A = this chain, B = another copy of it.
Amino acid sequence: MTPEVFKQLAEEWIPFNKYVGIQALSIDEGNIVFEVPFREELIGDPLKRAIHGGVISMLADTAGGFAVWTALKDERARVSTIDLRIDYLLPGKQEPIRAHATLVRAGKTVGVADVRLFHPTEPSSTIATGKGVYAIRLHRAVERAESR
């Protein structure tokens, strides 16, 4: 698939991504930059006005999944998250939050991606890091064709 198709998938076709407002800034094989613009609805701590940890975890999960997905050779293959770990280092401010995901392991059946999250105004301050392990699955149709 082309980067344009991946961008459409990431921003428009996945309903929860659209609901949260994910923007796909750059999509390369195994290298993803996604961003969520700040909105009041994304706040998790009304006193400190910090971004909800769930926004960070969903962004990390999605960016990591695309880092694996874009590196697959079979166009019809799909990824699904096996496990995800997020380490929260700094509270997220009322600013856009950006995720940079990198493929770190690309096996036949399992892919692993690292994600670093930060505010674009302060790119060297890491807000959170994520690591996702993703199962790689061939489409039914593909599997059937191959087993003949």
Contacts and interface: CB of A to CB of B under 8 A. Distances in A.
Nearest to A104: B89
A44 interface: yes
Contacts of A55: 16, 58
Interface in A83-124: 83-89, 91, 104-105, 107, 109-110, 112
A54 B45 CA distance: 18
Contacts of A54: 16, 20, 54, 57-59, 61-62
Interface of A: 13-20, 40-46, 52-55, 57-59, 61-62, 80-89, 91, 104-105, 107, 109-110, 112, 126, 129, 131, 133, 135
B15 A40 contact: yes
23 contacts: A13-B46, A14-B44, A15-B40, A15-B44, A15-B46, A16-B43, A16-B54, A17-B52, A52-B58, A54-B54, A54-B57, A55-B58, A57-B58, A57-B84, A81-B88, A83-B85, A83-B86, A83-B88, A85-B86, A89-B104, A109-B135, A110-B135, A131-B131
A136 to B, nearest CB: 8
Contacts of A88: 80-84
Contacts of A129: 104
Contacts of A83: 83, 85-88, 112, 133
Contacts of A20: 54
